[in-house]
Structure 1
Amino acid sequence: MEVSYEDPCKSIIEEEMKKVENIYENLMKRKGVLNTRQNLPGGDYLSKTYLGSIIKLKNQIMCDTTLPEDTGREMICCLSHLGILHEALDINYLMNVEHVVQFLNKKYVEENQQPDRLIAIERRLLNLGKDLIRTFRKQTNIKPNPNLRLIEEKLQELYSESGKESLGMIFVQTRATAKSLAEYLNEKLEGIEIPVKPFIGSKSSETSDGLSETEKKELLEDFRSHKIKLLVATSVGSEGIDVPECNIVMKYNYSGNEINIIQMRGRTRKAGGQAIYISDQSVLRRDLVSMEKAAVMHRALDELKQKGKDEIRAMILTEQKNDLKHQEDQERKLRELQNQKKRGFFKLVCATCKETEINGDNIKLYKQNHHVAAEGAFLDRVKKEDIKEEKINQMIRKSIIYCKKCPQKLGKIFLIHDLEVPLLKIDAFLCKEGDKLRKYKIGNLFHILLMRSVTKIWKLYSQS
């Protein structure tokens, strides 16, 4: 079933979120925070991705030792406020305006009884929250959300058909909505004796209050023993919970991936179990894609069940080898790309006149000492002085190389397999990186000069 409710106060909450985002961005500018990793995520305020990005950003700021303590506290305060408004937006979309007011009143009034302990920005955001509550209370002639009535009627119908001993789960996106919807349904279904409780994650979350592990275990025991007939759960309700008697599953504008689809399908294993979707069109489209992926996974599992252990082991080994080869290929391409950037960026210039140049494409490190081998084309830019030939190992020393612009001695020419190879002394050069000149450092130079072969000369030279 499709949600078709015109959200009356969505624009009010989104405007409030934009105000807080502006406060956060102005704070970063005023405090000189230049780390782009701490920029706000942007995008759809109602999406799970937005809330996930806010939580991740808070964790990054808490771990950032370069930020002054007061700056970090102010930034986290803004992000916490955005998290509260995200949950208010979700409640507003799926519940009634009075439920939004109840949630905001708890966050900005009941949980803030000592405003004198707050810093300036916390007081400012607290006042914005209270102003938002007053704005909502002024809203009149807002029709109730018809989807709440739809859920209530559908649950009454399902429990009437399958019996009051049936167990059900409703999945929603946020903890705040789970708690608000559970409270609403507990009141509405009291007449047919269907106790309802919220089932949410642990108290370590950055959003609403959570349940301890003990509370979650006790809640599940009450559910299995039918003391509680209906749970309103976030994604934690789809992970590793085994209640075979559960035969009613409802998703209220809840979008999950293919793994969630498979896990939720496992919640309705009992014969005659039913799964109900109440979502807007965009969520339904995402779920259809996830359902198709889940179907593909099921078909793959069915095919695996028909194969023997040895065949499966061989398939896994082949896939691992292919994955490893793919990873090695990707790493090799990345290294080549990095080397290409280094070669185009790195140059050596004559240490005396600063003019005669040789770039990274034309040089190779020679046996990790203070010399580099250059391509023959480099000889067109220097002067040569022949000397008495002298054999050194498999090479013949033939000439001395000087800079054309000054008397700086740059290196020598050797004959290797009848080819002239310039061997340059790199302390006769300066390293040029962009517009900067500096003396070379062996440790820094090695990783720049140790590159793949660039010429036939170098290939022959490296074999000697």
Structure 2
Amino acid sequence: MVFRYNYVTSDIGHVQTKGRSRAKFNGKIFVIVNSDLQLQDRELKNIIRVEMMNKVVKSIADSTLVNQKAFDDRILMEQKNDQKERQREKDRARITKANKVEKSGVVLHCIKCFKESCCLDDIRSIRNQHHVVTSDLFLDKMKLIDLKKQPIIDGFTHQQKIHCGNCQHKWGTMVVYQQQELPLIAIKNFTLKDDKGKKWFPKAWKDVPFVISSIDMDDLGKQNNFSEAENPEGSQQEKGEIEEDDGLIEYPNIMQIEE
């Protein structure tokens, strides 16, 4: 048997878990969830999605028996269309990058409460994908909440969640990169405003119309203040998190999934 404790993945993970349990544990999975986490609904949706997927796969398999050549031609056409769309996306991204301009005096404000957070000049990009704040003044504007788990994603160790110190809106994650702690932020959580009052509301970093410098060793050398910073509220428990010393906890919601 497989027991999952307060852990629900996507429908893909659902299928993978069932495959492993079928091979080793006779196809039985138990999902134990805390009612406050609302994970039971997510698992039920995964079950529905898997059932829909199985019906679609069966329908496709049946269609190949009717006319194999027509099916192959349709697949080839879809692949070519998908390839063309990906190329158009690359072309648009290249044009957008070429049109970016250098600009100073742009300030990031919290998207929820519009509190000033940092300047665009203090942001550096890592591998043209991830964006971090290099100014230690940013520490005074944010609140840190410890993560129960500290996953390593794309070379970054995620340690704490970063929230607005004023309205608690999530800004990003405190990560460790090359042995330095850095605030990794998502631009969708901020509004850009220049010294003339013009505003931008980008959904992704690629939508920011300004040039952002890449991080270098000098920038990493400035980050010692982040490592030494203390979070007075870091010990607060988030809703849904379970401390190790909580004692006996009853879980009324136990789901069993069988083949």
- Normalised-by-shorter TM-score class: 0.3 to 0.5
* TM-score, normalising length: structure 1: 0.23
More helix by share: 1
Higher relative contact order (CA 8 A, sep 6+): 2
Greater Rg by CA: 1
